[in-house]
A and B are shown apart, each in its own frame.
Chain A
Amino acid sequence: MEQTAAVVQAGLGLKERKKTNKYRKYWPLMVMMVPGLLYLLLNNYLPMFGIVIAFKKINFAKGILGSEWVGFANFEYLFKTSDAYIITRNTILYNAVFIAFGTVLSLACAILLNEIKNKILVKFYQSVITLPHLISMVIVSYLVYAFLSPETGFMNKTILPWLGIHDGISWYTEDKYWPVILTLVHFWKSVGYSSVVYFAALLGIDEEYYEAARLDGASRWQQIRHITLPILTPVVIMLTLLAVGRIFYSDFGLFYQVPMASGALFNTTATIDTYVFRGLMGNGDIGMSTAAGVYQSIVGFVLVLFANYMVRLYNKDHALF
Chain B
Amino acid sequence: MRYSKRVANLKNESVVLTWFSHIVMFLYAAACIIPFVLLISASLTDQDAIIAHGYSFIPQTFSTAAYTYLYERGADIARAYGVSVFVTVVGTAVGLFVMTLLAYPLSRSVTPHRNLIMFIIFFTLLFHGGMVPSYLVYTQLFHMKNTIWALIVPMLMNGYFVLMMRTFFQTTIPGALIESAQMDGAGEFRILWSIVIPLSGPILATIGLFQAIFYWNDWQLGMMYITDPKYFSIQNLLNRIMQDIQFIQTNMSSNANEAMQQMPTDAVKMAIAVIGSLPILLAYPFFQKYFIKGITIGAVKG
Contact = CB atoms under 8 A, between A and B. Distances in A.
Contacts of A121: 22
Interface string A67-90: 000000000000000000000000
A36 B6 contact: no
B124 A28 contact: no
Contact of B124 (A44, A136, A188, A297): A44
A290 interface: yes
Q: Which residue among B28, B42, B218 has the maximum number of chain A CB atoms within 10 Å of its CB?
A: B28
B127 A301 contact: yes
A304 B235 contact: no
A51 B136 CA distance: 11
B122 interface: yes
Q: Which 10 A-B pairs have the closest CB atoms?
A: A50-B133, A157-B54, A36-B102, A47-B129, A136-B217, A293-B130, A47-B133, A28-B188, A142-B273, A29-B105
A309 to B, nearest CB: 13
A51 B54 CA distance: 49
A194 B299 CA distance: 9
Interface of A: 19, 22-23, 25-26, 28-30, 32-33, 35-37, 39-40, 42-51, 53, 63-64, 109, 112-113, 115-117, 121, 123-132, 134-139, 141-143, 145-147, 149, 151-154, 156-158, 188, 192-193, 196-197, 200-201, 214, 217, 219-221, 235, 252-253, 257, 260, 273, 276-277, 279-281, 286, 289-290, 293-294, 296-297, 300-301, 304-305, 320-321
A139 B54 contact: no
Would you call the interface of chain A mostly helix, strand, loop, or mixed? helix
Given A37-B117, A129-B29, A157 B112 contact: no
A276 B55 contact: no
Interface stretch (B9-17, B62-70, B71-79, B255-263): B9-17
B299 A201 contact: yes
A237 to B, nearest CB: 14
B254 to A, nearest CB: 22
Contacts of B105: 29-30, 32-33
Interface residues of B, number: 100
A192 B32 contact: yes
20 contacts: A26-B188, A28-B188, A33-B101, A43-B137, A43-B154, A46-B141, A48-B127, A50-B133, A50-B137, A53-B133, A112-B24, A121-B22, A130-B295, A143-B38, A152-B266, A154-B38, A200-B299, A219-B13, A220-B13, A304-B126
Given A138-B219, A139-B238, A286-B132, 20 more contacts: A33-B105, A35-B98, A36-B102, A40-B157, A43-B154, A44-B128, A113-B21, A115-B18, A121-B22, A130-B292, A130-B295, A134-B284, A153-B55, A253-B220, A276-B130, A276-B132, A279-B132, A289-B132, A293-B133, A297-B129
B110 interface: yes
B50 interface: yes
A196 B296 CA distance: 7
Contacts of B246: 260
Given A44-B124, A147-B38, A36 B238 contact: no
Contacts of A193: 295
A154 B131 contact: no
B44 interface: no
A95 B135 CA distance: 26
Given A30-B105, A40-B121, A158-B56, A50 B129 contact: yes
A152 B50 contact: yes
Interface string B85-115: 0000000000000110110111010111000
Nearest to B133: A50
Contacts of B128: 44, 47-48, 297
B111 A26 contact: yes
A29 B153 CA distance: 24
A149 to B, nearest CB: 7
B187 interface: yes
B277 interface: yes
Given A40-B120, A152-B55, A33 B102 contact: yes
B124 to A, nearest CB: 4
Nearest to B191: A28
B194 interface: no
B159 interface: yes
Interface in B13-49: 13-14, 17-18, 20-22, 24-26, 28-29, 31-33, 35-36, 38-39, 42
B241 to A, nearest CB: 10
A146 B56 CA distance: 9
Interface string B173-216: 00000000000000111001000000000000000000001001
B219 A36 contact: no
B288 interface: yes
Contacts of B299: 197, 200-201, 235
A157 B55 contact: yes
